[in-house]
Structure 1
Amino acid sequence: MKKVIYALILPLAVAGGLVFANREIKNEPSKKTAPKPPSAAEMKAELTQWETTLEGIKFKKWEASPAGKKVLASAAKIRNQVSTSSNMEAVVTSLSLPPGSRLGFGVMVRINGDDYILSLGLEKSNEFQQLHSLEVNDKIILRSHFVSYAPKYAYPIVAGDYVERDSKMIYKRAPQKGGC
């Protein structure tokens, strides 16, 4: 009986010793270095390389097309307000996004005579509850930090950070965790 117990304990002790011997000591500084961000020349080279791919060629053709020029001009109209994150007056034109869009929850709005997709993020439990009360032709005030565009969409995409209706906040994006 003792031999069986010793036979079981011995491999357990050896395995435990190997585990403790191979683990890293956490107090030592990590020997792995963080990758350097690419330089401007490297980024330009990557962009040039991407522009020669099939997707890059399609994007360049879209940018030169009338639809692409319209989207880029609309994005440029609000670029100053977006970069300063200042208030923009908007009117809700549709409560649904264009068919086939994969932007999460959002609505269509008109700012300064141009239509935009107001993307608010992936729909979660109660985060957008007050936004569901919006109706077509509601006047809202919104703030954003980012405007983007893609050939798939006929409108620029405004990332909504703050939405207000009748001087009452109805949405505010939660700050990112662990970010800058």
Structure 2
Amino acid sequence: MKKNIYALVLPLVVISGLVFANRDIKDEASKKSTSKPLSAAEGKSALKKWEATPDGIKFKKWEASPEGKKVYAGEAKIRKHISAFTNMEAVVTSLSLPPGSRLGFGVMVRINGDDYILSFGPEKSNEFQQLHSLNVNDKIIIRSHTVSHAPKYSYPIVTGDYVERDSKLIYKRAPRQGGC
């Protein structure tokens, strides 16, 4: 009888030991794969390395070009509105984005005499249904948290977070779920 109990308990102990040992190995691997943020010096070093790559050189040339300077000047003109999330008056100039654009759904707008891409992101179901009712020369009010740029585009890219036409809300970005 004792031999049978030992025969059953011994494999159970061995298997339990293997399971716990394997878990410790996985925990160590996950701790090692978590990288800490770069220090300021490491960040500058990584930026210098990237600037030496062909893509970095191409980007620096674009920044120094008249087109790049125009994009940065356009961003600077609306930076206060972006930072404060205040209203910007805009006129829709085109219902389509520049050819070859991969920004998802968006329109071209003119704010204070400069052209901008007003991007809303990938089109999902009926999220942008009311935005499809926009027409060229419609006057709209925009609020945004973000303005960006890319060498591929000759215009600053404004992310549309809030749009109203004729004092009626036609789009408001839903808050992110599960994030900070």
| TM-score in same-fold range (> 0.5) | yes
Which residue is 2:38 aligned to? 38
Kindly report the root-mean-square deviation, in angstroms, between the aligned alpha carbons of the 2 structures.
2.4
Aligned identity (percent) is 72
Which residue is 1:133 aligned to? 133
Secondary structure of 2:144 counterpart = strand
CA separation in 2, counterparts of 1:68 and 1:52?
Answer: 19
Secondary structure of 1:63 counterpart = helix
CA separation in 2, counterparts of 1:19 and 1:105?
Answer: 54
More helix by share: 2
Runs (4+) off by over 3 Å: 17-21
Following superposition, the deviation at residue 18 of structure 1 comes to 4.7
Normalising to structure 1: TM-score of the pair?
0.83
CA deviations on 1:103-142 (whole Å, 9 max, x unpaired) are 0000000001000000001000000000000000001111
Which residue is 1:57 aligned to? 57
Q: Structure 2: any 5+ residue segments left out of the alignment?
A: 1-10
Matches within 5 A, 1:96-111: 96-111=96-111
Normalising to structure 2: TM-score of the pair?
0.83
Secondary structure of 1:86 counterpart = coil
Which residue is 2:168 aligned to? 168
Following superposition, the deviation at residue 22 of structure 1 comes to 2.0
Q: Which amino acid in structure 2 is aligned with residue 120 of structure 1?
A: F
Which residue is 1:3 aligned to? none
CA separation in 2, counterparts of 1:64 and 1:163?
Answer: 33
Q: Structure 1: any 5+ residue segments left out of the alignment?
A: 1-13
Which residue is 1:144 aligned to? 144
Residues matched between the structures, number = 163
